[in-house]
């Protein structure tokens, strides 16, 4: 029977939930393998210190300790340093980042030795017994201090802490900026933040010594990228390394990285021939998992007396931390493409300097570069409104780019695909009862009420759907931005999807099944979605940068069209009609005017599998793979409004309204979309 | 080693453990009940919440030996006869979970709280979750799930 129900756009309950609700999640720490040992890392308590001596002999005497090594002991384990794949400029100064540091510790938490124990507790006991002699050095903890003359150097061999400078080069008419009647110079800071997934990171490496093969289960967003890069660090050939991202307990960018501990688990599994597990403690999570932000922004706004914005100049100092992690140097620049926001400006300049400090490395956290840009831009627009004594809503209103439906070249050089900013803005104001609250605010100010009202506005555009491969190439990113999906119609009428994205709470199992159900005339319950395992899924680029549906979903769409094209040929053969006489309607191929002439995809999957009667040249099996490399980013936009009440005597703050109007594109599952927006706010 | 006898999800369990073993590691590693997750080493996140004689407790704040002779209920003990507990059903219906890592602790905290206060207000539910952290949902749908389980809302939001 053909399934005629449509699922896209419906709040289909999640396929993922049943095991997670009943304590049957496959999180890394829930896995054990016979013979498994536990890894603990000896970490520097100093932000900056020379490592004088590492003595593991006392640890080796501890009960339950299997082995212990210093960084020097493990030198031969590495085929290369840990990966950094975004050397954003030609003259970027980089230093090798090894899984353990030999000469000096560059941040509090830098690993200097490693211990294996029969249990996690025994490994931790062993790590405490390792004797490390440090010679503490002055540390640089502030990015402005870090570039002053005589500042201590994080990487001595680089000769400076200012290791990368990237300039957009500017766009538009810079002379307009010079002659502008109103110019405001402003400074805003976006302090460091931590991704803080509730599941800490963890990894379990299991060897097959006779074959030199390894499986690494790791709590990651990026199993495919981890495979090729960890192969480079460990020297394990790529085809002998399988990476699995099982259930991943949140990430927010923290697991969009390749870490020392993953490389160490693999190297020590190779060295000992035993499975090696490492589970991050919460304290480690805050000191060694990447941080985000850490940026000082200087922005200059040029405008007319009437509030028309003429241009933005932005210069940033960005805290890279002690090492480049996977994407570190490129993160600020992601903001550099959206600093104009939804506003119609005529002059633009953006540059940043990346600075090494004796702090935890920074990298992508929640939005990565773009939220910082939006924050700074919106603060600047509010400052302009205050300066001109205008309503901040009015300043935004007169500056929005008018509606456009085709690619619009923007000053920063990328084409924005479409936008209609003003209606989203007006809708947000209406829902928040902006005008009434402005009046209420004015009256309370006048009366000197103890409880005062503040109203915050934020309009934005975001560069999502990372990313067109050719643009990534132009930005010196080492990989592409395409993704892949494979569809296999099984003989029993079920469908298996093998996808290249790797979810960690976003509900891909459900949404990918909804798309497929509508295309193939089956139900989401008939569909299994496999992901996050490099041994079974097609080579994809994983999950980050709001890319999964935009790119992976499009790859799935094209794979489904291939399935339908093939199925159509088979249906025409079986029904003895021309392919042109077939319509795919109500979940099946149908011949116009002949209601008994119907073939469903599951029926055709059986025919393709038995292969007893196929058209000439038709390959058995109903399976297809497709990739999709996007032509542009997606450019969503929207406005958020917050109305807060502050008790001016106690400081107690209450939210009276929070309204979000976001351009979500095609909503596949409104329940999941709402949940994602709630979480983001 | 210390001997511990505990009733877990209605079954008498006994084992010798290191005296320093925390209840959560006794459940996870000795008994193999890995549904109770460990999210922090600071008693902050509440992922490891279980019921001890019916009341919620963070299983990382107790030694296994402190549970001697007592009854522990974990997330694995919530469903019966293949049917999820009404709180579990409500979390599913209201999209009260995303990555699912904090979820077992949320459900156990809710089970304990709804026994104390079967008809809570939204504000009371929010307050009752003070000891449980979630990073995915923004709490909104968790609160809706618990209110739904208590019969305080119409249920499915969509």
Name the one residue in this structure whose structure tokens are 């922004």. A297
Judged by average pLDDT, the poorest of A3-7, A100-104, A304-308 is A3-7
The two tokens of residue A238 are 């790529």
- Average pLDDT over chain B reads 94
ipTM: 0.96
Question: Tokens 């709804």, residue?
Answer: B114
Query: What is the nearest CA distance from B98 to chain A, expressed in angstroms?
Result: 4
Task: Specify the pairing of strand A131-136 against strand A49-55.
Answer: antiparallel
Q: How many residues does chain A have?
A: 681
A residues 569-628 near B, CB within 8 Å? none
Asked if pLDDT for residue A170 goes beyond 90, the answer is: no
Which of A9, A11, A16, A23 is the best residue to mutate to test the B interface, defined by the most B CB atoms within 10 Å of its own CB?
A: A23
Q: Does A254 touch chain B (CB under 8 A)?
A: no
Checking if the pLDDT of A433 tops 50, the result is yes
The residues near A274 (Cβ < 8 Å, ≥ 6 apart) are A35, A36, A37, A207
| pLDDT confidence tier of residue A410, bands split at 50, 70 and 90 | confident
Please judge whether A675 and B158 are an interchain contact, meaning their C-beta atoms are less than 8 angstroms apart.
Answer: no
Q: What is the mean pLDDT of residues A515-524?
A: 97
pLDDT digits (tens, 9 = 90+) for B11-34: 999 999 999 999 999 999 999 999
Q: Is B73 on the interface with A (CB under 8 A)?
A: no
Average of per-residue pLDDT across A254-261? 98
Q: Residue A343 pLDDT > 60, yes or no?
A: yes
Give yes or no for residue B121 having a pLDDT over 80. yes
B92 to chain A: closest CA residue: A17
Q: Name the residue of chain A whose CA is nearest to B138's CA.
A: A679
A309-337 per-position pLDDT tens digit: 999 999 999 999 999 999 999 999 999 99
Closest of A509, A538, A548 to residue A634, by C-alpha: A548
- For A62-71, A586-595, B108-117, B126-135, which range has the lowest pLDDT when averaged over its residues? A586-595
Q: Are strands A295-303 and A182-190 parallel, antiparallel or unpaired?
A: antiparallel
**Within an 8 Å CB–CB cutoff, is residue A11 touching chain B?**
yes
- Chain B from 33 to 72: CB within 8 A of any A CB: 33-42, 44-45, 47
Residues of B in contact with A194 (CB under 8 A): none
- Please state the rounded mean pLDDT for residues A640-651: 98
Terminal CA-to-CA distance of chain B, rounded, Å?
A: 53
pLDDT at residue A593, rounded to an integer:
87
CB-CB contact of B109 with B132 (8 Å): yes
Tokens of A245: 């991202």
Q: What is the pLDDT of residues A260-286, one digit of tens each?
A: 999 999 999 999 999 999 999 999 999
Mean pLDDT of B27-55: 96
Beta-sheet strand order (sheet of A594-599): A582-585, A588-591, A594-599
Q: What is the largest CA-CA distance in chain B?
A: 53
Q: Do A25 and B100 count as a contact with CB atoms less than 8 A apart?
A: yes
Taking the C-alpha atoms of residue A405 and residue A408, their distance in angstroms, rounded to an integer, is: 8
Bond into A395 cis (ω within 30): no
Contact yes or no for B107/B91 (Cβ under 8 A): yes
Q: Write out the two tokens for B78.
A: 């919530």
Q: What 3-state class would DSSP assign to A404?
A: strand
Q: Is pLDDT of B153 > 60?
A: no
Mean pLDDT score across all residues of chain A? 97
d(CA B64, CA B60): 9
Position B76 pLDDT exceeds 60 = yes
CA distance A300 to chain B (A): 34
How far lies A446's CA from each of A146, A453, B146, in Å? 47, 12, 42
Q: What's residue A177's pLDDT?
A: 85
Residue B157 has pLDDT above 70, yes or no: no
* φ/ψ of residue A66, rounded to 5: -95, -40
For residues A360 and A166, the answer to whether their CB atoms sit within 8 Å is no
Note the pLDDT tens digit of each residue in A23-70: 999 999 999 999 999 999 999 999 999 999 999 999 999 999 999 999
Contacts of B37 in chain A (CB under 8 A): 25, 27, 29, 198-199, 249
CB nearest A199 (choices: B92, B101, B137) = B101
Q: Which of residues 74-103 of B touch A (CB under 8 A)?
A: 74-76, 78-79, 84, 88, 91-93, 95, 97-103
Q: What residues are paired with A348 via a beta bridge?
A: A171, A312
Q: Tell me how far apart the alpha carbons of residues A486 and A624 are, in angstroms, rounded to a whole number.
A: 6
Share of chain A above pLDDT 70, in %: 100
Nearest-Cα residue of chain A relative to residue B40: A282
Residue B126, chain A, CB below 8 Å: the answer is no
Question: Could you tell me which chain A residue has the CA closest to the CA of B38?
Answer: A199
Closest to B50 measured CA to CA, from B26, B30, B69: B26
CA-based R_g, chain A, Å: 28
Beta pairing, strands A276-279 & A37-43: parallel
Judge: A22–B47 Cβ closer than 8 Å, yes or no: no
The phi, psi pair for A652, rounded to 5°, reads -65, 130
**A424 to each of A9, A297, A454, A460, A655, how far by Cα in Å?**
21, 28, 21, 11, 21
Question: Is the Cβ–Cβ distance between A303 and A182 less than 8 Å?
Answer: yes
Model confidence at B156, in pLDDT bands (50, 70, 90)? very low
Q: Please state, in angstroms and as integers, the Cα–Cα distance from residue A306 to each residue in A68, A568, B142, following that order.
A: 69, 62, 47
Classified as helix, coil or strand, A172 is: strand
Separate counts of helices (H) and strands (E) for chain B? 5, 5
Q: Structure tokens of A29? A: 């720490």
pLDDT computed for residue B155 by the predictor: 44
Q: Does A513 touch chain B (CB under 8 A)?
A: no
């Amino acid at each position: 029977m053909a399934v005629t129900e449509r699922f896209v756009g419906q709040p289909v309950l999640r396929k993922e939930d049943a095991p997670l609700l009943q304590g049957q999640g496959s999180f890394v720490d829930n896995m054990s393998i016979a013979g498994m040992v536990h890894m603990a890392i000896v970490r520097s308590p100093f932000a900056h210190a020379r490592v004088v001596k590492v003595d593991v002999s006392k640890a080796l005497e501890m009960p339950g300790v299997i082995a212990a090594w210093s960084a020097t002991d493990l030198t031969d384990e590495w085929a290369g340093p840990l990966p950094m794949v975004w050397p954003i400029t030609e003259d970027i100064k980089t230093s090798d980042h090894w899984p353990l540091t030999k000469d000096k510790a560059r941040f509090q938490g830098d690993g200097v030795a490693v211990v294996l124990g029969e249990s996690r507790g025994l490994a931790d006991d062993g790590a405490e017994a390792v004797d490390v002699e440090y010679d503490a050095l002055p540390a640089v903890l502030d990015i402005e201090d870090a570039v002053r003359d005589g500042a201590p150097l994080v990487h001595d061999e680089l000769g400076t802490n200012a290791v990368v400078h990237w300039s957009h080069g500017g766009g538009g008419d810079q002379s307009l900026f010079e002659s502008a009647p109103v110019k405001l110079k402003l400074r805003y800071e976006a302090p460091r933040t931590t991704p803080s997934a509730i599941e800490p990171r963890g990894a379990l490496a299991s060897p097959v010594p006779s074959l030199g093969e390894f499986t690494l289960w790791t709590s990651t967003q990026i199993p495919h990228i981890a495979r090729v890069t960890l192969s480079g660090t460990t020297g394990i050939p790529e085809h002998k390394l399988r990476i699995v991202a099982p259930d991943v307990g949140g990430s927010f960018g923290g697991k969009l990285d390749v870490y020392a501990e993953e490389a160490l688990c693999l190297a020590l599994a190779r060295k000992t021939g035993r499975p090696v597990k490492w589970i991050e403690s919460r304290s480690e999570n805050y000191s060694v998992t990447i941080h985000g932000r850490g940026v000082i922004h200087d922005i200059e706004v040029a405008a007319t007396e009437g509030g028309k914005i003429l241009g933005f100049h932005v210069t940033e100092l960005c805290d890279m931390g002690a090492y480049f992690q996977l994407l570190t140097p490129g993160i600020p620049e992601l903001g550099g493409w959206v600093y104009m926001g939804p506003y119609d400006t005529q002059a633009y300049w953006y540059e940043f300097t990346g600075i090494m400090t004796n702090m935890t490395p920074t990298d992508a956290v929640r939005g990565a570069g773009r939220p910082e840009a939006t924050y700074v831009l919106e603060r600047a627009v509010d400052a302009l409104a205050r300066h001109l004594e205008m309503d901040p809503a009015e300043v935004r209103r007169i500056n929005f780019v008018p509606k456009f439906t085709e690619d619009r070249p923007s000053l920063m050089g990328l084409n924005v695909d479409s936008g209609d900013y003003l209606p989203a803005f007006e809708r947000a104001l209406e829902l928040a009862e902006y005008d009434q609250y402005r009046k209420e605010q004015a009256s309370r100010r006048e009366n000197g009420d103890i409880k005062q009202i503040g109203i915050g506005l934020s309009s934005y555009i975001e560069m999502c759907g990372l990313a067109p491969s050719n643009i990534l190439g132009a930005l010196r990113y080492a990989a592409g931005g395409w993704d892949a999906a494979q569809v296999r119609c099984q003989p029993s009428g079920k469908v298996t999807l093998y996808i290249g994205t790797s979810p960690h709470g976003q509900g891909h199992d459900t949404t990918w099944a909804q798309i497929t159900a509508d295309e193939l005339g089956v139900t989401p319950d008939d569909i299994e979605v496999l992901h996050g395992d490099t041994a079974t899924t097609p080579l994809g680029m994983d999950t980050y940068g709001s890319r999964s549906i935009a790119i992976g979903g499009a790859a799935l769409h094209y794979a489904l069209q291939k399935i339908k094209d093939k199925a159509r040929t088979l249906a025409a053969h079986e029904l003895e009609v021309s392919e042109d006489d077939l319509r795919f309607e109500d979940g099946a191929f149908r011949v116009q005017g002949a209601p008994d002439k119907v073939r469903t995809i599951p029926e055709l999957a059986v025919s393709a599998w038995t292969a007893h009667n196929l058209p000439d040249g038709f390959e058995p099996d109903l399976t297809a793979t497709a990739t999709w490399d996007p032509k542009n980013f997606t450019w969503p936009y929207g406005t958020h409004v917050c109305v807060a009440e502050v008790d001016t005597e106690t400081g107690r703050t209450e939210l009276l309204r929070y309204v979000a109007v976001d351009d979500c594109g095609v909503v596949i599952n409104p329940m999941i979309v709402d949940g994602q927006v709630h979480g983001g706010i | 080693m210390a001997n511990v006898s505990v009733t877990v999800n209605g079954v008498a369990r006994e084992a010798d453990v290191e005296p320093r073993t925390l209840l959560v590691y006794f459940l996870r590693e000795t008994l193999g009940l890995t549904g109770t997750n460990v999210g922090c080493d600071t008693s902050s996140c509440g992922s490891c919440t279980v019921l001890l004689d019916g009341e919620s407790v963070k299983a990382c704040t107790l030694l296994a030996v402190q549970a001697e002779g007592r009854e522990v209920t974990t997330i694995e003990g919530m469903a019966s006869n293949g049917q999820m507990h009404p709180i579990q059903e409500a979390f599913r219906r209201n999209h009260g979970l995303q990555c699912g890592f904090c979820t077992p602790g949320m459900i156990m905290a809710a089970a304990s709280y709804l026994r104390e206060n079967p008809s809570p207000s939204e504000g009371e539910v929010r307050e009752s979750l003070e000891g449980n952290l979630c990073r995915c949902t923004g709490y909104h749908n968790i609160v809706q799930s618990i209110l739904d389980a208590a019969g305080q809302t119409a249920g499915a939001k969509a």
